[in-house]
A and B are shown apart, each in its own frame.
Chain A
Amino acid sequence: MKPKVAFFDFASCEGCQLAILNCEDILLDILNLVNLVEFREALSEKAPRYDIAFVEGSIHRDEDIERLQNLRSRTTVLVALGACACNGNVQARSNFVAPAVNYEVIYGEEARNRVQVDADHWSLWSHTRVRPLDAVVKVDAYLRGCPVVPAEFLHLVKSVLHGTTPFFPPDAVCVECKKNGNECVLERGETCMGPITWGGCNSICVNNGYVCDGCRGTLPHANIDSHITLMREHNIKDEDIRNRYRLFLGAEPIGRGV
Chain B
Amino acid sequence: MSYYLTTLQNITNWIRKTASENPVYFPEKFGHASYRFAEVKADSDIQFEHYTPTVLPPVKLLIPAREELLSFKKHADGKTEINPTLDESFRVIAGVRPCDLKAIFLIDLFLKDGVPDAHYLARRENTALVGWACTAPCDSRVFCAAVDSLHHTEGADIFITPLKHGDLLVEVKTELGEKLAAGTDWQTCDDGPARKVGTVADMPEPFGRTFPVTAQDIYKNVAEKWKSPVWDKHVERCFSCGSCNLVCPTCYCFDVSDDMNLDVASGNRTRTWDGCMLPHFAVVGGGHNFRPDPAARQRHRVKRKFEYLTEKFGHGAVCVGCGRCGRQCTAKIDIYDIVADLINEGDQ
Contacts and interface: CB of A to CB of B under 8 A. Distances in A.
- The answer to whether any beta carbons of A and B sit under 8 Å apart in the complex is yes
Nearest to A177: B243
Given A171-B241, A226-B238, 9 more contacts: A30-B262, A169-B278, A171-B242, A184-B243, A184-B330, A195-B241, A223-B239, A223-B331, A226-B236
B280 interface: yes
A183 B30 CA distance: 8
A114 interface: no
A227 B240 CA distance: 12
A144 B232 CA distance: 33
Nearest to A189: B32
A187 to B, nearest CB: 6
Nearest to A224: B239
A182 B56 CA distance: 9
A174 interface: yes
Contacts of B66: 179
A43 to B, nearest CB: 21
A189 B331 CA distance: 14
Nearest to B236: A226
A181 B56 contact: yes
A195 B30 contact: no
B55 A181 contact: yes
A242 interface: no
Contacts of B331: 195, 223, 226, 230
User: Size range of the interface on B?
Assistant: 20 to 34
A32 to B, nearest CB: 8
Contacts of A172: 239-242
A66 B60 CA distance: 52
A162 to B, nearest CB: 8
Contact of B330 (A171, A175, A230): A230
A98 interface: no
A110 interface: no
B273 interface: yes
Given A33-B262, A170-B280, A196 B55 contact: no
Interface string A186-225: 1111001011100000000000000000000000011100
B260 interface: yes
A236 to B, nearest CB: 14
Contacts of B41: none
Contacts of B55: 178, 181-184
A178 B246 contact: yes
B247 interface: yes
Interface in B10-59: 30-34, 36, 55-56
Contacts of B192: none
A146 B31 CA distance: 26
Contacts of B8: none
Contacts of B36: 181
23 contacts: A158-B262, A169-B278, A169-B280, A174-B243, A175-B243, A175-B275, A179-B273, A181-B60, A183-B32, A184-B55, A184-B330, A187-B32, A187-B34, A188-B32, A189-B32, A192-B330, A221-B240, A223-B240, A223-B331, A226-B236, A226-B331, A230-B237, A230-B330
B279 interface: yes
A55 B215 CA distance: 58
B31 A174 contact: no
A171 B66 CA distance: 16
Given A182-B55, A230-B330, A187 B239 contact: no
Interface in B230-258: 236-243, 246-247
Interface of A: 26, 29-30, 32-33, 158, 162, 169-172, 174-175, 178-184, 186-189, 192, 194-196, 221-223, 226-227, 229-230
A223 B237 contact: yes
Given A179-B273, A223-B237, A187 B33 contact: yes
Interface in B262-305: 262-264, 272-273, 275, 278-280
A187 B55 CA distance: 11
Contacts of A186: 330
B187 interface: no
B31 A187 contact: yes
B281 to A, nearest CB: 10
Contacts of A179: 65-66, 246, 272-273
A175 B240 contact: no
A32 B280 CA distance: 35
A178 B243 contact: yes
A81 B271 CA distance: 28
Contacts of B278: 169, 171, 175
B141 to A, nearest CB: 13
Contact of A229 (B56, B65, B237, B262): B237
Nearest to A195: B239
The residue in B34, B60, B247 that gathers the most chain A C-beta atoms within 10 A of its C-beta is B34
A169 B328 CA distance: 22
B31 A196 contact: no
A32 B65 CA distance: 32
The residue in B66, B236, B240, B275 that gathers the most chain A C-beta atoms within 10 A of its C-beta is B240
Contacts of A194: 241, 330
Contacts of A174: 239, 241-243, 246, 330
Nearest to A155: B259
Contacts of B239: 172, 174, 195-196, 222-223, 226-227
A232 to B, nearest CB: 12
A57 B236 CA distance: 36
Please give me the 3 A-B residue pairs with the lowest Cβ-Cβ distance, nearest first.
Answer: A183-B31, A179-B65, A178-B246
A174 B65 CA distance: 13
